[in-house]
Amino acid sequence: MRAASNALFDLRQRTVLVTGATGGLGQALCWALAEQGAQVLVCDRDPGPCEVLALALRDAGHPAHALVCDLSDPVQIQALVEQAATPFGVPHALICNAGVQGPASPLHEVSDEAWHQVMDINLRSVHQLCAGLIPRMAAQGSARVVLMSSIAGLRGNGRIGLYGLSKAALAQLARNLAVEWGPRGVCVNAISPGLIRTPLATDLLNNTDFMHRRLAQTPLRRVGEPHEVAGLAVLLVGAAGGFITGQNLVVDGGTTVSDGS
């Protein structure tokens, strides 16, 4: 059956929970989803920025609600699972965008404390959220889950190897969940951005030597913009992404396919 083209990205009557919502990429995700009609659950650890973003969305005519959660705390995550169904009903989609980079050091220098911090926030919290929400989401007949991975999980890295390990694990988690929940109509995918123009990337963007090397290795010869990642998330959450699952979609301007020539 042919779907109307204007319905492929229509998210009206769909609720999407976004973690890490108040960062540069998180805000782009929230606005892109809202502009396609989604009811957005704005989730981050600091209540102030959460409320500010939710209010800005509502002032622009978009249904939005703030949910505060520190993803390093399993008790708060379980509370988030319960609260997520309160404002608009059980979410139709979950976008796990929150994460931390952790130490910039070789793996043999990583402390146990740093290991647990990065793995707890980047991986364990995502698993706990998915375990708590996917069964409820699937009971509605279909659901979408997007895990924010990274190209750091696709290749070796001498400085942020721990971050890369956690992001590679997220891509595998998406594949496993896609297999487990596909029969219930749940699509689960990962997105792996390259260098995106966000506040967290400011130091890299201001590093002339790094940028010269990175752009020389990137066929499009530029960094990505947050909306270019958010647009893919909209596709995966909407009808257009209904037959995509278990994939790790790379948004990096071609960096990972280039030989640098």
Quick count: other Cβ atoms within 10 Å of Cβ 112?
7
- Buried-exposed string 233-260: b where 16+ CB fall within 10 A, e elsewhere: bbbbbbebbeeebbbbbbbbbebeeeee
Whether residue 164 contacts residue 103, with contact meaning beta carbons closer than 8 Å, is answered with: no
Residue 163 designated active-site: yes
- Sheet of strand 186-193, all strands in order from the earlier edge strand to the far edge: 64-68, 39-44, 15-19, 93-96, 143-148, 186-193, 248-251
In whole angstroms, give the CA distance from residue 17 to residue 15: 7
String of DSSP letters for 113-169: HHHHHHHIIIIIHHHHHHHHHHHHHHTTT-EEEEEE--GGGTS--SSBHHHHHHHHH
- Pick the catalytic residue from 163, 198, 238, 255: 163
The CB-side HSE value for 149 (13 A sphere, CA atoms) comes to: 30
The CB-side HSE value for 160 (13 A sphere, CA atoms) comes to: 15
Listed in sequence order, the residues at least 6 apart from 8 whose beta carbon sits closer than 8 Å to its beta carbon are 238, 239, 240
Whether residue 29 contacts residue 11, with contact meaning beta carbons closer than 8 Å, is answered with: no
Active site residues: 163
